[in-house]
Each structure stands twice: as structure tokens, then as C-alpha cells.
Amino acid sequence: MVTQCQIVNRTVNIGYGASYLMHKPVHCGYWGKKGTGINCWAVGLFDGQTTVMVKQRFGVEGADEVISALNAATEMVKEADPTLDDVLAAIEVWRMMPQIGGRAMFPAFFLWYYHGGFKDRWNNPLFNDKMMTKSFDEYFEEAVESNWFTNLDKPSRDHTPRILIECGGNQLRRTRGGRGVLLDTLWKNLKLAVCIDIRMSATALNSDVLLPAAQHYEKVSFHLPTPAMLTLQLSDKSAEPQGEAKEEWEIFHLLLMKISQIAQERNLDGFQVSDIGPEEDRYRKYSELPDRYSLNGHLLNSEDVAEEMVRDTVFAGTLNDEVDLNYLREHGFSKFKDWGMSPMALGQSSPLPVDETFSVFRDHYEKGTPYPTLTRRAQFLIEHPWFVDAKEDLPVHKDAPLMGGTYKFRMTGGHNRWSIHAMNMGNPYLLETHRGEPHAVMHPRDAKELGVKDFDFIKVKNDVGEFKVRVKLSPCQRPSGLTIYNGWDSFMFKDMVASNEVEPGMVKWLNMAMGYGHLKYAPMEWQPAPVDRPIFVDIQTAE
């Protein structure tokens, strides 16, 4: 696991989690000290989320089997490499899992490349770094042939997705390129698109079936537990789901019951889920799916699942013994008492504080604990041949590639002040706190040259797409810049075409580089992903 820290156009690998910094703190010795350095954000701590998703039987007995298996794997890794401590070994196990049989998560990169229409964009020399010595495809094939993505290239180029179930996301809004690329590629080959959502999102509007999900206060859930809070906070159910809405857990259980029923009617036995891992775990019988999912009928709704997650977390030693669902309902939250077993939590490399503020990386500073990098140090030099070839073996400034085309204006974005994501942007009360519709921030000087007034419509276009949006004038905007904030759904724009239509969604070829210590895929960590640099666009007046 590596922390990815952006310094201009350069990814610096320093440790574990996800954090952002400039290089000065490490050179000045600021890491691991209170009030200085950086802050790490990473999910973890709530171990019951992991155990409940993977265990094969109900109760703490099932959790004990999961924890024992992880401990055994960690000890095997330590035996193979005695230089590893418990944390480094746990991180290595996390990195290895997807390639030795863990099928919970694959990089979305291959879906985009093979089936999402991005291959041609990523191979556009104009949109890429001018220092690339080979085409994107040549780097891609080298990465695959080097076995850096063994068992991870799913779905493969020969396996066209036919059914898409979207839950907890909004692909047509969040994906760079949006409708303009996905509807003509991935969507065109689907036999069925299903969206599970609390609202009529952009993806829901383009799906064959919308399954209404229960709202946040219509089910039992938890706030995301991170080192920033060090507490588990309950979000309790306060109302019954409205209309036909159901909890996501119940929706998937009902789907599996129906699949099992239809399979029985058609005399279908089962299906192969993998070619790797233990033989007994490679095959699934349709008739067993509902019970495998619900642990023989014990987990049928969000309350059952929440209760089991809390019980397992107590068993794992991360919450105090008195904590259960009733305790959380009475107190609202509970402090964690230990980091637990998650590498994302252990990688904070600090004592879990009691009644004091938290500072990451204290173990590295106070105890000399090694970093999970190739050199076991806070590493800036990366001598991977691709990085050396790109002249990025050390941090370096590079001008932004012309993503979008050769145009004057640079479009950037950011989080808006009203909502992190799109689900709240259409809320009528929040709409009253701003102009009520999408807008792009422009400098008054640029507006004058274009003949544009505040609140006018403009057309923003480049080589990959176009959209229309209102203008908001502000001297705070950098001249020749255009800022449009995150979260506006496509149906809020004129002609229902959103700002992501002009985003090429470029992936930097160095993100495919692996086979070098800490440069290795792990769920939610090092993997090829779109690089959000400025998007070059043209601006015209519009009706």
C-alpha cells in the first residue's frame, strides 16, 4: 500500500493511505509530530465490515475463521521475508489477495479500456505527455505481458459485459466523458442496465430498470469511520422506506432468491466464479446463493447486518466489550480502542490516541518503523525504468498536456460548498442557497472579450464534447480559467448534457507501472485512474 502524493505532475510514494502534501515537510523532519506534517485519510478501523462480507457462517465463530486465516497468511509472509514487521506483512497480504483468489475488487481500468470507449482517447498523442517514448497501447501491452495485472484484467477483452447493476454510484455523471463515451460503447452492448438509487440520477435515467433504494434515514447504517474521527457513529433508522423502496441488502437478497428460483426451473446447477484460489471456492451453486449471502437467513436487513458488524468488531478487539447496537443507539457513537486488523488502519503507523489529538506516522519518527516502500524509507527516487524514461524518477514540474485539444481556456473543478456529490444537488432547500442550477466561474476580463454577461449561457467545447452552462463572473477566477464545481447531475444542464462531456478521462501511463516494491495494485490503492489536470476548452456564446 502506498500513499500517493501529488507534487505538480508527479506521484511520490511515501507510505500508506491517501494524503496530500508538498515535499518540504519530510525534508524538514515534520512528519510524525503533532501540529506539523501531513494528515492521512483512509478507511479502516471498523473490522466488522470486512468480516461480515467474507465470512462463511454466522456469529463470532465465522469472524474468528476470517481473522485466523488473515493472521496465518500474515505469518507466512513474515516467514518468507523476516525483514517484515506485522504492519508491513499485513500490507503485503492485502496486496496479494486479488491475485491469489480474492475476487472482491478489480481495477476499473480494464472495463474502461476494453469496453468503455477510452482506448482511442488514451492513445491520442496530443492529450498525453510529450515525453512518452511509446504509444499508450505499447505500454499497456508491456504491463499485461509483464504479469503486473495477473488475474486483475477483468472483464477481459473477450468478455463483453451484458448486465450492469449500478449501486452506490452514478457512472454517467462521475465518469469522465460521461454519456458521450459510455452510452455509445459500454451501454450499447448491454442487454440490461439496472440502477439501484435513492433518486432519479443520470444513470437511472439511462437504465432499463430503476430499483428504488431506501433513503439514509430509512435504514440502519454508520458514518464512514476514519482516523479523522476515531469513532464509530451510528446513523439509525427513523422512518420506514417510502413506496416500493427497499434497503440495498434486501434488494440483493431478493435478486438472489429469484435467480435461484429461475435456475431451478431451468435445471441449472451452478457457475464457475474463478480459475484461482481453493478448488472448493471456485464454483457456486445457484440454489445456495441466498443462504451464502444471508448466512443461512441470519442477515436479512440492515439492522441484522449492523448488529453483526458491531459484534465482530468487538470480537476483533477494536471496540470495547460493552458496545453493541443498543449501546450505539443510546450513546450515538463509540470510540475505537485499537487500530484492528485493516492495513488501511494499521498503516497510520501511530499509537491510537486516548483523549488527545492524532498525528500520523509517529511510529516512523519515534521508533524508526520502516515505511512500506521499496527502500523502507520515505521515498522520492523511483528507479522504475518507465519513470526513468519519463524523466520522473525524481519529482519534476511538467506543463499540463493538452487534454481536450489546443484551446485557450483551462477548465478545472473542485468540491462545491453545498454537497460533496450529486445526491444533494437537486434538493429544493439546497437549491435556494445558491443560483439553483449549474454555473461556471469566469473572470470579468474574459467575459468582456467574449461579450458575455453574468448569468448568460455559454457553450464550452473541445475535441471530445461540448455542454452549455450559465456564467458566474468573479475576479477571484484566474484569467483564461474556467471553474465548474463537482456534483451537478446531467439533467440539471441545458439539453441534459453535463460538464464531464468535455473531460477526456486521461490515464497517465506511469499509473500502469508495477513490479517495483510498493508500486503494486491493491484494492483502493495503486492503480491506473483518470488524472485531473486542467481540461483545455473553447468558449462561445450560446442561447
- Cα–Cα distances (Å) from 454 to 446, 458, 471, 484, in that order, read 12, 10, 6, 15
Which architecture does CATH list for 409-503?
Beta Barrel (2.40)
Entry pTM: 0.91
Contact 326, 60 (CB under 8 A): no
415 has which bridge partners? Answer: 486
* Per-residue 3-state assignment (H helix, E strand, C coil) for 503-534: CCCCECHHHHCCCECCECCCCCCCCCCECCCC
| The three grid cell numbers given for residue 57, joined into one nine-digit string | 457462517
Q: Name the 3-class secondary structure at 64.
A: helix
| Polymer length in residues for the chain | 543
Question: Is residue 171 packed enough to be buried (19+ CB in 10 Å), middle (13-18) or exposed (0-12)?
Answer: buried
Helical (H) or strand (E) element with 305: helix 302-315
| 519 phi, psi to nearest 5 deg | -80, 85
Q: Which of the residue ranges 19-23, 82-86, 259-263, 342-346 has the most confident prediction, judged by mean pLDDT?
A: 259-263
For residue 4, what pLDDT is reported? 33
The secondary structure of residue 9, as a DSSP letter, is T
Per-residue pLDDT of 515-530, as tens digits, reads 999 999 988 888 999 9
For residue 40, what pLDDT is reported? 65
At the top level of CATH, which class does the domain 109-121+154-336 belong to? alpha beta
- Cα–Cα distances (Å) from 129 to 184, 390, 392, 424, in that order, read 27, 9, 12, 36
> Does the structure show a pLDDT above 70 at 389?
yes
Per-residue pLDDT of 529-542, as tens digits, reads 998 889 999 999 99
**What angle (nearest 5°) sits at the alpha carbon of residue 92, between those of residues 90 and 96?**
120
What residues does each domain of the chain span? 4-102+357-398, 109-121+154-336, 409-503
Per-residue pLDDT of 129-156, as tens digits, reads 999 999 999 999 999 999 999 888 889 9
- The Cα–Cα gap between 505 and 502 comes to 9
| The three grid cell numbers given for residue 403, joined into one nine-digit string | 487534454
Question: Nearest to residue 234, comparing CAs of 334, 336, 98?
Answer: 334
Contact 94, 106 (CB under 8 A): no
| 449 phi, psi to nearest 5 deg | -65, -30
| The three grid cell numbers given for residue 225, joined into one nine-digit string | 469511520
| The three grid cell numbers given for residue 153, joined into one nine-digit string | 484484467
Question: Nearest to residue 250, comparing CAs of 216, 212, 207, 204?
Answer: 212
pLDDT band at 188 (very low <50, low <70, confident <90, very high): very high
The secondary structure of residue 15, as a DSSP letter, is S
| The three grid cell numbers given for residue 442, joined into one nine-digit string | 469566469
396 has which bridge partners? Answer: none
pLDDT band at 7 (very low <50, low <70, confident <90, very high): very low
Cell 442496465, located at residue = 193
Contact 241, 247 (CB under 8 A): yes
Helical (H) or strand (E) element with 483: strand 481-483
Evaluated on CA atoms 178, 184, 190, 193, the torsion sign reads positive
| The three grid cell numbers given for residue 133, joined into one nine-digit string | 517514448
For residue 523, what pLDDT is reported? 84
Contact 179, 505 (CB under 8 A): no
> Does the structure show a pLDDT above 70 at 14?
no
For residue 102, what pLDDT is reported? 58
- CA quadruple 521, 522, 528, 533: dihedral, nearest 10: -130
- The Cα–Cα gap between 507 and 256 comes to 36
| The three grid cell numbers given for residue 543, joined into one nine-digit string | 442561447
